[in-house]
Structure 1
């Protein structure tokens, strides 16, 4: 390291040109900071060489300290074009392109930009996707005589290609004489991005030379256009593949849903980088293959790769989908041990994971521990409290957030309205909907109207819900009509239900849930001829109802049960426990609600047997056998809990003195001491 003698010694013994030589030879960040301080103390900072050299050193990629670079720039009394170019480039390279463009606007009032300034600021426009500003700079370049400069033209082709202005990119490209492989790649990439894959292929054939990126652009473009087989043929023809090429092909398979081919190619790779792992994990998570995503994450750790924030966000989302709390806790512990900060999206993901895994207490603990809370953190905890039936707590937190000065956005109002929905707070829901529009000037989206309609439907205000839908300023989607159909089924309003079902079929005839709800509504009213008609319609269209499925995590393994399941290794013990449960329920006076049987079964005993075999009862029996007393039994179900199972679970929580937490497709139910957190409203 450079060791500086005290200021007086230097002033006394070193000639001035030796002072300047120190600035030429230093390169380490600490040396630069020492010389920076030295220049200020000795008043030599304003020497043109010194200030320029310090600006260049701080802007150099090896040091890359934008804060110090800007402070140097601001102190320079007579700035040259070189100074402007250096600081603008520093901003663009540090992903602060907007600030770089603002500086460029100031620059043109003092100097005419040159062929160093223009490519840099055009690159900033490409990164921001601001094509109109890019066109203005293009016009300026033509006006001041740099329109035919090869570097300016190259940056324009790249900018227009990335911004989707492919005709403009082609016009600049065709007017160029010297075209290197990078330029060809930019244009091919632009055509591929716009879906013009045939033109991209034609250009590829015309290229005088190709590199790995040329091939990769086409592989990626073909994959995105759904031509995965063509992409694979091109991939196999590549003379030399790099990690980007492999990742492009794997990503193509993942997006097309061909996970087997993606996995096969993954294992053929010579080496795996973080991008590859993230592709695989995110691909599985986005396509609902949560278990595969979690397995891939732990395989990644086993092989010694360190996950990024993106990796952890994907795997936490997968854990949320599976509701495997044990895995989620392990990942949280890993994050703490490895110093991952929770101030950003990771904190939001962790809160969501705990909430969706049924542990709202841990979600609250994470939320409270975050020092610099952003709107995303508040949104995650408010949504979590809402689906757990803790609406008052959720709404109190919303008001607390508003007091901190954070302005609620459209997403957080969805969380607030959902909290009102799960607690049956109809008046509050209406007030918050009005507050969003009138106080915060947020235009309601389909999601907001969907929440309001669902609030009204669950509470039985079906006519008001119907009127709200018909008077919406935007066209309702299938989700909104399904809310009206679901409310009609729950409250026995067949006429409104039929109306809603007809609207769903008009908007999205492939919606299986519509036919199931309609069939169940008819079955609950004993209209078996109409039930047969709906089921025949489903059969002809190839629709099948998903069976009820409930799962319990135990010692890191997910145990799944369907109606009448006899496939589990502990089947004998489970059915013995269910017989015991049946006897205990009789002793406390439980009478099965056979109106919940939506099949054409005549005998009461047969109907009771049908109810007894519901998947959540098998899961409860498994939990009573295996989960230690004092630990909640956590059950995840894919369908709505029926009224009879809800009553039974309340009684079992008291009979066995166990807390049972059930997540159905709507919300969480916390059963304890014979009562449920939903207060029988779901």
Structure 2
């Protein structure tokens, strides 16, 4: 075409998106922008949807592109809002999905039915009961409760966020109870240990699906009614032929708890027959069964020869625990040394290793393990202590929150860290200090949350220090955020450093395979 106006560019870009050619679509969109032609809202919506389809291929960068495309829409419609909310949900960023839902409502856009269900799903996925209740209020005020999918998602949210009484009350009031809603309440009752109530509702269901069977099996195992779990599995096998990894995993846990090696071997054969044995979670479960039952040769064969690169610290922990339990302490310590080259030991590993040292009077080895434990404090354990402290009504101070944020950085809990930062001011009226802002910069930047990092920097109540800009600069180089990276470079150079910086995106060093996490123990 001798002349290409905005209409022709918009048409070809939309067509490429609909045809499933994301690379071509992105190329055309870049060419259009380079010529200074402004895309229409429909074009940006097409780009946004295409980013969504490519999310699993290009990860966080695609999500960043999707948000950039969305922010370029002057007046996003209900479909555009639905796409960006769903993208955040699929990316495991439920807090951002909920945040965008509230922004949509505040903007005066009426959500689609599926947008409401996505927001509810994000709430239970993120444990956001307070936000879920707000959305439920919105549902009631705007007439969404008549949609069966919305009603089911509300019940599901309450059940999975732990408010099972609210879930059961809504379930009882529902004019129509489908299998999805019934399964949600069964799962919630079973998860909180109300097995009798769950079984009563389960028996009253007109039909059972695999999810409802699995919910009951999991509930029996969690409540330690292991014989009941095996009996229910026999009933299930008579009614349906379908099963999955969750089914076998629950029954296998029951066999392990009962030390029923014979039944476990039958499940091993069934897993092979159904093609489910190759899943890492299943192989880990069988290593645990054989280790705990004293069939250590089988456990070794599975872990060393069949699992290969799929083995992780849980596999090693099961084997090490089995060795220690069955008086093979030297083998336990040898397995610990082998484990160090592949996985980082956990609290369970150290418990078994120290018990093994005690069994054969290896005091020096025990001291070395103790020293290693001191050098590596556990972030998740710190967060458990923080939650327990709050449950007991003890008021945390700014130092406590600082420790919690550091733990979130170590363990990669970005959403939790953001919640704690908000909790400081909203619930405890603690004014964040510069150390807290430094932690949030580190948390978002280290784990690649570039959009959120830029937004956080923009809303800081003070100008970041040069040290903070340097950390932002490094994160932007690593994750390719040119806009914020160049801004950071300008701020750093304005401080007149001895060596000025220039923003150049870093490239991965594929020759380096080492890791600080792989530090060997002194006796290795």
What residue number does 2:162 align with?
Answer: 358
Q: Relative to structure 1, is the Cα distance of residues 520 and 242 closer, same or farther in structure 2, using a 3 angstrom cutoff?
A: farther
Whole-angstrom distance in 1 between the partners of 2:312 and 2:25: 34
Give the C-alpha shift of residue 267 in structure 1.
0.9
Check if 1:379 corresponds to 2:183: yes
Check if 1:232 corresponds to 2:32: no
What residue number does 2:341 align with?
Answer: 536
CA contact (8 A) 1:417 1:433 kept: yes
1:621 to 389, 392, 411: 389
Q: Relative to structure 1, is the Cα distance of residues 519 and 410 closer, same or farther in structure 2, using a 3 angstrom cutoff?
A: closer
1:163-562 aligned within 5 A: 212-221=10-19, 227=23, 230-237=24-31, 241-254=39-52, 255=55, 256-257=58-59, 258=61, 259-341=63-145, 344-401=148-205, 406-438=206-238, 440-472=239-271, 473-475=273-275, 476=277, 477-487=279-289, 494-502=296-304, 505-506=307-308, 509-510=309-310, 512=312, 514-515=314-315, 517-518=317-318, 521=321, 527-538=332-343
Match of 1:536, SS state, is: coil
**More strand per residue:** 1
Instruction: Number of aligned residue pairs: give it.
Output: 363
Give the C-alpha shift of residue 251 in structure 1.
3.0
Give the C-alpha shift of residue 530 in structure 1.
1.4
Whole-angstrom distance in 2 between the partners of 1:267 and 1:231: 18
Q: Relative to structure 1, is the Cα distance of residues 236 and 247 closer, same or farther in structure 2, using a 3 angstrom cutoff?
A: same
Give the C-alpha shift of residue 374 in structure 1.
0.5
Give the C-alpha shift of residue 376 in structure 1.
0.7
Give the C-alpha shift of residue 484 in structure 1.
2.4
Whole-angstrom distance in 1 between the partners of 2:369 and 2:347: 22
Q: Relative to structure 1, is the Cα distance of residues 504 and 357 closer, same or farther in structure 2, using a 3 angstrom cutoff?
A: farther
What residue number does 2:464 align with?
Answer: none
Unpaired segments of 5 or more residues in structure 1? 1-208, 539-543, 549-592, 629-634, 639-682
TM-score by length of 2: 0.59
What residue number does 1:661 align with?
Answer: none
Match of 1:333, SS state, is: helix
Q: Relative to structure 1, is the Cα distance of residues 442 and 304 closer, same or farther in structure 2, using a 3 angstrom cutoff?
A: same
Structure 1, 297-306 or 425-434: larger mean CA deviation: 425-434
Give the C-alpha shift of residue 345 in structure 1.
2.2
Q: Relative to structure 1, is the Cα distance of residues 397 and 305 closer, same or farther in structure 2, using a 3 angstrom cutoff?
A: same
Q: Relative to structure 1, is the Cα distance of residues 594 and 534 closer, same or farther in structure 2, using a 3 angstrom cutoff?
A: closer
Give the C-alpha shift of residue 316 in structure 1.
1.6
1:97-176 aligned within 5 A: none
Give the C-alpha shift of residue 398 in structure 1.
0.8
What residue number does 1:664 align with?
Answer: none
Whole-angstrom distance in 2 between the partners of 1:595 and 1:339: 57
Cα RMSD after superposing both structures = 4.0
Whole-angstrom distance in 2 between the partners of 1:281 and 1:413: 31
Q: Relative to structure 1, is the Cα distance of residues 486 and 217 closer, same or farther in structure 2, using a 3 angstrom cutoff?
A: farther
Give the C-alpha shift of residue 408 in structure 1.
1.9
Unpaired segments of 5 or more residues in structure 2? 1-6, 358-364, 397-403, 409-524
